[in-house]
Amino acid sequence: RMTKKILLDICKQQKLYWTPYLNDTLYLHYKGFDRLENLEEYTGLKCLWLQCNGLRKIENLEAQTELRSLYLQLNLIEKIENLEPLQKLDSLNISNNYIRTIENLSCLKVLQTLQIAHNKLRTVEDIQHLQECPSISVLDLSHNNLSDPSIVAVLETMPNLHVLNLMGNEVIKKIANYRKTLIVRLKQLTYLDDRPVFPKDRACAEAWAVGGLEAEKAEREKWETRERKRIQDSIDALAAIRQRAEEKRRQKCMEGVATDTLEDLPGQEAATDQAMLPERDECAEIEQFKLETLEKLSLDELPDLEDVVVSEFPPEEEIFVQKQDYHPKIEIISEVTNDSNSALEENNKSMLENSVEVPTAIFSSVCQNRKEHEKEHLRPLLKSFFTQPDNSERHLEIKDKKVVPLKPLIQEVITEPKDDLLLSPVCPQPDDPSSWEEDGKL
């Protein structure tokens, strides 16, 4: 039963207002109700869903004066009745019921949509009441038992009928030239069954009604010619727009080139060169295109590193001069005395002069067959680092100086003073302890 408690529980479940009159929509479908009742408090309803229940009668809707849409499809209703209070009803769906005749709808002055498919309508008398419903514009009579072609006369009296569906009825087979006939006789029709009625369809149908198939064919050719012309005009207009844009762009380019060229040319040669500007522009574009294509190289044009000989490489100065501007120079000062600094500097200079041969060892990774030969060159150079200086003092000083750009070769130098004492490589340690105290004071 449709009790007040059940209606309130439905509102809570569907998150509607608990106060009945505040709701404008109420969903009561698929609930198994067999009777309409207890809707007096729901006075603000504009849409009421009651499909898929067991309702047998339309009743108890006096309080729903604001109702616009009423859905009663898929019930057990046998008669249309008790709709007088619903003066604002716009859409009524009573499909899939057991209605045998259309009645009691003339009271609904603003009714526009009537869906009464899948019912028990059979004769013209069953739909005769539609003549009293001039406001209906959408009518669905599909899948009934209508078989009398005279129903077209009833439908013809409906002045606002725009959408009509008669699919699933026997009358479709009994009306000669069914679609053309209904289009001609129903002047306001814009949608018939499952297809719209276009102006071309109406014009061809009216031509057929006047002159038969020949007139229809001629009218159809006129419409097709008109349609092709319209499409061609659209294409031509688009092409004209593109052409004007291209000419405008080309004119701007020509004006810019002419301005730049006339500033550089003498007064007498300006006219002649201005006439040759288009040709120059084309030549410049061609040359630029050639240059762009020449700059692109493929992988096949690159040389193979295995085929390159060491002698083909540029000098070491050209290779490293861009990457390295300077190299740290390591000078070794004697640990014994400071008197032999000049001799040590000369020795270091000679060592740096001989160190020019180092890059050949660097490039030996490129050419494997010269690797052993370069090692023989480096051996005398490495032996020169192990000479025993006469002085015992040892100090390392690193200076930044622009030298021949090559990779540094740092070799640990081991010196053996005469007194067989290994001194600290960081700073000298005097024998006199008093000097330590002086340093501490400082």
Q: Which residue, 10, 75, 76, 87, is CA-closest to 42?
A: 10
Contact between residue 10 and residue 33 where contact means Cβ atoms under 8 Å apart? no
Express each pLDDT in 244-302 by its tens digit: 999 999 988 888 777 766 555 554 444 445 544 444 555 555 555 444 444 444 545 55
Q: Buried (b) or exposed (e) across 220-238, using 16+ Cβ within 10 A?
A: beebeeeeeeeeeeeeeee
Measured distance CA(215)–CA(356) in Å, rounded: 106
Q: Is 164 helix (H, G, I), strand (E, B) or coil?
A: strand
- For position 325, what pLDDT does the model report? 47
Query: Which tokens is 130 given?
Result: 């539609």
Strand-pair partners of 165 = 140
Query: Which tokens is 311 given?
Result: 């002698």
- For position 258, what pLDDT does the model report? 73
36 DSSP assignment: -
How open is the CA angle 167-169-175, to the nearest 5 degrees? Answer: 95
- For position 256, what pLDDT does the model report? 78
- For position 5, what pLDDT does the model report? 93
Q: With a cut of 70, which residues of the chain have pLDDT below it?
A: 260-442
Measured distance CA(30)–CA(51) in Å, rounded: 7
Q: Any residues with CB less than 8 A from the CB of 365 and at least 6 apart, and which?
A: 371
Query: Which tokens is 110 given?
Result: 């603003």
Measured distance CA(351)–CA(389) in Å, rounded: 15
Measured distance CA(201)–CA(179) in Å, rounded: 10
CB burial class (10 A; 0-12, 13-18, 19+) of residue 262? middle
**For the chain, domain boundaries:** 4-210, 211-253
- For position 374, what pLDDT does the model report? 58
Measured distance CA(185)–CA(338) in Å, rounded: 129
Measured distance CA(148)–CA(163) in Å, rounded: 20
Contact between residue 332 and residue 350 where contact means Cβ atoms under 8 Å apart? no
- For position 123, what pLDDT does the model report? 92
Provide the whole-model pTM. Answer: 0.56
CB burial class (10 A; 0-12, 13-18, 19+) of residue 115? buried
User: What dihedral angle (degrees, nearest 10) is formed by the CA atoms of 155, 158, 160, 165?
Assistant: -20
Distance (Å) of CA 47 to CA 23, 25, 39, 72, 133: 10, 5, 13, 11, 22
Contact between residue 176 and residue 151 where contact means Cβ atoms under 8 Å apart? no
How open is the CA angle 384-390-395, to the nearest 5 degrees? Answer: 75
Q: Is 432 helix (H, G, I), strand (E, B) or coil?
A: coil
CATH number of 4-210: 3.80.10.10
Measured distance CA(222)–CA(243) in Å, rounded: 31
Measured distance CA(334)–CA(224) in Å, rounded: 109
Contact between residue 164 and residue 186 where contact means Cβ atoms under 8 Å apart? yes
- Work out whether the CA dihedral 26, 31, 36, 38 comes out positive or negative: negative
Contact between residue 376 and residue 360 where contact means Cβ atoms under 8 Å apart? no
Q: Where are the beta strands (DSSP E) in 18-146?
A: 25-27, 47-49, 69-71, 91-93, 113-115, 138-140
Q: Any residues with CB less than 8 A from the CB of 403 and at least 6 apart, and which?
A: 326, 327, 329, 352
Measured distance CA(124)–CA(150) in Å, rounded: 7
Q: Where are the beta strands (DSSP E) in 235-366?
A: 327-333
- For position 287, what pLDDT does the model report? 52
